[in-house]
Amino acid sequence: MSVSLGVVRDPFRALCIAFVPESAELNEPGWRELESEVERALADRPTAIQKQMVLLIRILDLLARARHGNPLAALTPAARRELLTRLQDSRWLLLRRGVWGLRTLAFLGYYSRPDTAASIGYRADLRGWEARR
Amino acid sequence: MNRIQADVVIIGSGAGGGTIAQALAPLTADGKKVLVLEQGARLRDDEYTGVESDMARALYEDSGGFLTEQGTLTLAFGRTYGGSTAVYTGTSLIAPERVIRAWDVPDLDHDDIARRCRNFAAQNHVHLLPDDEINDNNRLFELGCRRIGLAAEQFPVNVNGCRGSSLCNLGCPNAAKMGTDRVQLPAAETAGVEVVTRAEALRIEERAVIARVSRPLDGEKGLPSAWEPGEYRIEASAVVVAGGAVGSPALLLRSGFGRLLPRLGEGFTCHPAFILVGEHEERITNDVGHPKSFYLDRAQEEGYVLETCMYFPFITAKNLTGFGPDHSALMKAFPRLQMILVLACDRAVPGNRVSVSGKGVTRVHYEFTPEVRSSLARATVMAARIFFAAGAVRVHAPLASPPLLTRGQADQLDQKISAHEFLPGRTSVSAAHLMGGCAMGRTPEDSVTDAWGRVHGVPWLRIGDSSLFPDSLEINPYLTIMALADRTAEALMGDSAALFDS
């Protein structure tokens, strides 16, 4: 099985923006690139993990509705981060692991993009010193 | 099922398996068939692109993010021709005498280990990089240590023709790193050893290995296996397991050896680690040059080692604590970042072990002991001191609250950094020095093998990798793995008359 983020696209993107504010500036092809990378990573994992990730995103969306009266996508990035920070600092390991897993996926999707590497000034080159001197 | 007859089957091609393959290669001159089964693929030289996610997927188990059962630690280990030697930085140290002595394994002495390590260091072109190949990230570490009165030591590394791509952990794109993929395995193959890639050992039976050979997936890097896809039963006079500290005990447990060997899978250690970054005002050279040139060994005194390092965008982002604007700001400072890897010297303790589920899935159980947490906190304080002494204006320290420390706080590090801030599941911790699970020792009650990798009670079954370590090594392990693997091969050669005639 390979998971599609399409079923949780809005809350997933809202979470990505909370983790990496710059991702809000991505255009649609940029988002697709990010999501493809995440889907590719999830496809390598057991089906149970894939389902857990989708379930977690749905639970976070429900939590946002319960606490703030709006889905994740309708909250301000600051409100999303406040929610995620509380969960990240939770006494419950399962919640901390969940946030850690989601942030890892968001970072994977965003920072694996060649455009991102260039934008943060990462310049590693196969030619090493020769490319710099 | 396909059937193959061999004399020796070696499972794994990393520091252990590659070394054993070369050592047993002379057997082929006597008409003996020596096979190496490697689960991963063999890549063409032009497939080493340095693209982070692609290379991680091609060279590592679970893309370098194998999660422990608790979900609080990721393990990075290679799954390719050459195993983890294809993805390490090539740092080559000889084990401290006090560590080998503390292992207390009869018939294992430090002089023998050191002698073999020196041989492999010479064989794999281990040397100190010249000064003009050291980048700022490394120089600043050495400078910071010196300014606080400590002496950083330079890592000998096994490179030949290094161009300084900084991409060691993604597989050297310039074929300059002298792992078993570049030295021992090609030598073994030239002598007649057959290396079969994409061949996963599923289980071990009486003098036989059941393996599955897979075809490449669409778009996947790497050459196809030399064998047709399918299941194989490979019968052999001797089986040598060298699948690493996770793979070897898991394979033996899956094969039912746990009934004979109650210690199988126990004693897993891994030098749990995280990174700190220091932000400088000016650009530094960090993503060019060999990434790991210096270290500070505080293992004996304080239970940790600090090493220079430089990772790639995603791994860096993952390893920093937190998220949001502060995290992003730090990532945008990448050209000004200095990086230090903090490693705790953990101990083999009950509960930290490798197991397999009822369905045969590999599990690694790992809890952070109070000692490990304290070591990581002390190491964090020391690393922060080094950053500030080297001129950093801000330091990101995972065990500080909040994690960003400014230069003005440099004299409050002991108050700002605490083991109490270590929260499993929130603090990003990873490990790449995986050890134990098939420990050497005296009897089946206290260990899995003797000092020569002979599995207790199973004369045709040998172990030759880091799973032999009875406890943490406290330094980068690959030369010691090669030394122990060499001993395994030597013992097997010594026993060959009995093994091959029986």
Same domain, yes or no: B108 and B147: no
Same domain, yes or no: B94 and B183: yes
Same domain, yes or no: B298 and B406: yes
Same domain, yes or no: B338 and B191: no
pLDDT, tens only, B387-430? 999 999 999 999 998 899 999 999 999 999 999 999 999 999 99
Same domain, yes or no: B80 and B174: yes
Helix ranges, B181-273 (H): 184-191, 244-254
In angstroms, the CA B265 to CA B199 distance is 23
Per-residue pLDDT tens digits of chain A, which is 133 residues long: 567 888 899 999 999 999 999 999 999 999 999 999 999 999 888 888 889 999 999 999 999 999 999 999 999 999 999 999 999 999 999 999 999 999 999 999 999 998 999 999 999 999 999 998 7
Residue where the block lists tokens 């490179």:
B159
Same domain, yes or no: B54 and B86: yes
Closest residue in B to A93 (Cα–Cα): B425
Nearest CA of chain A to the CA of B428: how many Å?
8
In angstroms, the CA B425 to CA B370 distance is 16
What percent of chain B clears pLDDT 90, i.e. is strictly above it?
98
Question: Does residue B419 belong to any structural domain of this protein?
Answer: yes
What percent of chain B clears pLDDT 70, i.e. is strictly above it?
100
When computed from its CA atoms, the radius of gyration of chain A, rounded to whole angstroms, is 16
In angstroms, the CA B13 to CA B59 distance is 13
In angstroms, the CA B324 to CA B310 distance is 22
Question: Does residue B214 belong to any structural domain of this protein?
Answer: no
Question: Does residue B357 belong to any structural domain of this protein?
Answer: no
What range does the domain containing B481 cover? 2-62+73-125+168-208+229-268+434-501
Residues in A whose CB is inside 8 Å of some CB of B read 18-22, 37, 40-41, 44-45, 77, 81, 84, 88-89, 93, 96-97, 99-101, 103-104, 106-108, 110-112, 116-117, 119-132
Same domain, yes or no: B150 and B249: no
When computed from its CA atoms, the radius of gyration of chain B, rounded to whole angstroms, is 22
Report cis status (omega within 30 of 0) of the bond before B402.
yes
**Average pLDDT over chain B, rounded to whole?**
97
Same domain, yes or no: B459 and B492: yes
Same domain, yes or no: B32 and B176: yes
Residue type at position B194: E
Predicted confidence at residue A1, as pLDDT, reads 53
Same domain, yes or no: B200 and B295: no
- B163 and A128: CB-CB below 8 Å? yes
Question: Does residue B350 belong to any structural domain of this protein?
Answer: no
Predicted confidence at residue B336, as pLDDT, reads 98
The residue out of B409, B428, B447 marking a domain boundary is B428
Same domain, yes or no: B474 and B401: no
Q: How many domains does chain B have?
A: 2
The residue out of B428, B452, B467 marking a domain boundary is B428
B167 at interface of A, judged by CB pairs closer than 8 A: yes
Question: Does residue B328 belong to any structural domain of this protein?
Answer: yes
Residue B125: pLDDT above 70? yes
The residue out of B381, B398, B428 marking a domain boundary is B428
- A112 and B162: CB-CB below 8 Å? no
Question: Does residue B86 belong to any structural domain of this protein?
Answer: yes
Instruction: Give residue B502's pLDDT band: very low, low, confident or very high (50, 70, 90).
Output: low
Same domain, yes or no: B378 and B491: no
Nearest CA of chain B to the CA of A106: how many Å?
9
Question: Does residue B319 belong to any structural domain of this protein?
Answer: yes
Delimit the domains of chain A by residue range. Answer: 7-131
**Set of chain B residues whose Cβ sits within 8 Å of the Cβ of A21:** 324-325, 328
**Set of chain A residues whose Cβ sits within 8 Å of the Cβ of B334:** 120-122
- Tell me which residue of B203, B204, B197 sits closest to B86, measured CA to CA: B197
pLDDT, tens only, B213-260? 999 998 899 999 999 999 999 999 999 999 999 999 999 999 999 999
